[in-house]
Amino acid sequence: MQSSPIITVVITCYNQGKYLREAIESVLAQSYEYCEIIIVDDGSTDHTKFVVDGYPQVKYIYQVNQGVSSARNTGIEHSNGEFICFLDADDWLLPNGLEINLQHIEENKEVAFVSGAYVFVNMYYPFARFVSAERLNREERYTVDEPKFPETRDHYKQFLRGNYIGMHAAVLYRHWVFEEFRFDTSLTGCEDYDLFLRISRKYPVLDHAAPIAAYRRHENNTTANTSMMLRFALDVLDRQKDNLKTSEEEKCLMEGKVNWKNIYANLVYQKMLNPLYQYKREDLQFLWLNDKKLYFNRQIKKFKLEYKEILKKVLPSPVVKALKSLNGRKIYTPPVGKVNMGDLARLDPFSRAFGYDRGGPVDRYYIDNFLEKNSALIKGRVLEIGDNEYTLKFGGAKVTQSDILHVNETNPNATFIGDITNAPHLPGNGFDCIVLTQTLHLIYDYKEAIKTCFRILKPGGSLLLTVPGITSIDAGEWKSTWYWAFTDISIKRILEETFDVDNIIVDAFGNILTATAFLYGMGLQEVSKNKLDYYDPSYQVTISAIATKF
């Protein structure tokens, strides 16, 4: 019988099935082996249950949607471990994260919990859960979170000044903590911050600098809702007023309120100063009420300036012009020699990671929309290249068998290994659908790849294909095999050499603005939907095709 303590990892999930597999695998790959995994499905309507079904060793609990606090409390009630770690479905643990935290907490018997550092994941990176923290630190797509406040023995004061932990998965709790404390279900944000404050008020805690977990940045992160997050952060601090014992603690609480307001005010300013920012009155109202440090002051209210005048005070004039133009009030074409390049007057893009580090790539909007529109074709036995994220996301229960073709053995989930241009081991007439997204440009002999797809499709089966048009070239993993860029005409002719011309549908997406945004590495959240949906055939960012075998 093993005598080592069990660690329960509670993974909460609400409609994040596309990320869940990687979170589970990160726990299974831990250097510390005595782990219990509990998935609390908080009323998901996506394919979360389908993903969990592939892991019989995982305990699955479904509840009607009640929020993350309730989901974590449910996980606590069903846990058997001496220690508990909470992991969100869109994040993951680094390979030795649990072992590091366990070592620290066992060496310090008096502490209620221990917390480490974490890394920001600036783009989707398959199999990153197997990458060491040292390698993560060397790669541009990752950044290590820096400690926000100087270390001190009085952690309660640190928490009054702000949440120095930042990421909940970096924390390992003793189970006995939850005999006294639970997550407050009235909070839909900052619930972990509230718990840190309440625990550290009564019990000692410990922190260290070793990276424990990876925080995935994407457009749906809760922290992007600045108004809501600030409201909960200030509410959590106000709850501590009756617990303050010294004037120094009172000072820390007031400093914490200023810190939180400045943090979220700066996030709003960063959003507003983007040339593609879509004007929102609530952003100005947020700054007016909460900014104590930058442009705003209470004198504006005294003069009762209209929001247009406030806009001029907040933003430099070139951005105001850009806003007016983008909002359709006036389309202004500068004369020759009078073009104001603004933030575009640079030789380096905003991002060399295709915008993954700014909220996700622009082209993913077109790819996801294409697959969602044609999701009825993703059914039966489906083959996807590299991984099966799109198969699970858009096929769901319609998929009876999900296969993955990977070029080498680095993907442990791959069911076939090999090059699609020469793959005699793939069964002929074997697949109802093939999902081939953003891959053809990496294959030198792309015509042979199309022939393979035709051979292995069942009669009536469809190839769902996307390829890049206007794009930058990857400077990392794919730079040595980035051969081609396409147009709608070229893709149509390529497919017609193998598929019947009447069974091919080709579309293209993009315009001058989205092409420019994509080349500069702007994030998807920085471009409005109406700009993304406008199509100019002279500026094709992404090309899609459906080719059916009959």
Q: Fold for 7-221, please state it.
A: Spore Coat Polysaccharide Biosynthesis Protein SpsA; Chain A (3.90.550)
Please check whether residue 59 is in contact with residue 78, taking contact to mean a CB–CB distance below 8 angstroms. yes
Q: Which of 78, 88, 84 is nearest to 98 (CA)?
A: 84
Tokens matching residue 183 = 């997550």
Q: If one looks up domain 356-548 in CATH, what number appears?
A: 3.40.50.150
pLDDT at residue number 41: 95
**Mean per-residue pLDDT, 358-370:** 95
Q: What is the pLDDT of residues 508-545, one digit of tens each?
A: 999 999 999 999 999 998 999 989 998 999 999 999 99
Ranges of CATH 3.90.550.10 domains, the chain: 7-221
**What is the model's pTM?**
0.53
Residue ranges, CATH 3.40.50.150, the chain = 356-548
- Give the C-alpha separation, 506 to 524, whole Å: 23
Residue 386 above 60 pLDDT?
Answer: yes
Whole-number pLDDT of residue 222: 57
pLDDT in tens, 201-210: 999 999 998 9
Position 263 pLDDT exceeds 70: yes
* Sequence letter at residue 519: L
- Rama region for 167: left / alpha / beta (φ>0; ψ in -120 to 50; rest): beta
Closest CA to 453 of 437, 468, 469, 470: 437
- The 10s digit of each residue's pLDDT in 66-105 is 999 999 999 999 999 999 999 999 899 999 999 999 999 9
Tokens read off for 455: 């051979």
